[in-house]
Homo-oligomer: A and B are copies of this chain.
Amino acid sequence: MITILRLGHRPARDKRVTTHVALTARAFGADRILVATRDPALERTVREVVRRFGGPFEIETGVAWRSVLRAWPGPKVHLTMYGLPLDELVAAIPREDLLVVVGAEKVPTEVFRLVDWNVAVGSQPHSEVAALAVFLDRLLGGQGLHREFRGRLMIRPSARGKDVVETGRSRDKV
């Protein structure tokens, strides 16, 4: 079980980026995202994707992030360009009950101390979406992308177009 903890989300400014973080978490093998700021619109957007394309994947917003981080029973990593290289750390990070902290622009300095590993996916400024995707891809040996989702919609790989199948696994309307 892998949980993402998203800090610093500002609903007006970050809605799209945090949606990308959540969908990337789901597609690359995480099971749940906790978002520090309450945002019902974000929850609806993510749950709608889960309803159509399948789960399990959960979202909860408005969580008390300090309490989550302090009380977390399993290993904790923080993705940051200031951390130690992913290549050096990835083999040591357990997958069980893992919490992955993903910040926005400014992350409180205490976060660096509250986690077990500060992991850098490159030491250049880029994107928490990119960092999360590559972190999960490397952590799960590329297997996160091959997880099966039992949704109402399934995309079949195609060389030149869009091949979307309705599986009939759910009775919800698309």
- Residues of A at the B interface (CB closer than 8 Å) are 13-14, 16-17, 20-21, 23-24, 26-28, 49, 53, 81-85, 87, 109, 112-113, 117-118, 120-127, 129-134, 137, 142, 145, 149, 154-164
The residue on B at minimum CB distance from A52 is B125
- Say whether B161 contacts A109, CB under 8 Å: yes
On chain B, the residues within 8 Å of A161 by CB distance are 82, 109, 112
- Say whether B20 contacts A81, CB under 8 Å: no
* 5 residue pairs, one from A and one from B, having the closest CB atoms: A130-B133, A20-B127, A27-B126, A129-B129, A27-B124
- Say whether B129 contacts A53, CB under 8 Å: no
Q: Dominant SS at the A interface? A: mixed
**In-complex Cβ contact of A160 among B16, B26, B118 (8 A):** B118
**In-complex Cβ contact of A83 among B133, B134, B137, B157 (8 A):** B157
On chain B, the residues within 8 Å of A164 by CB distance are 82
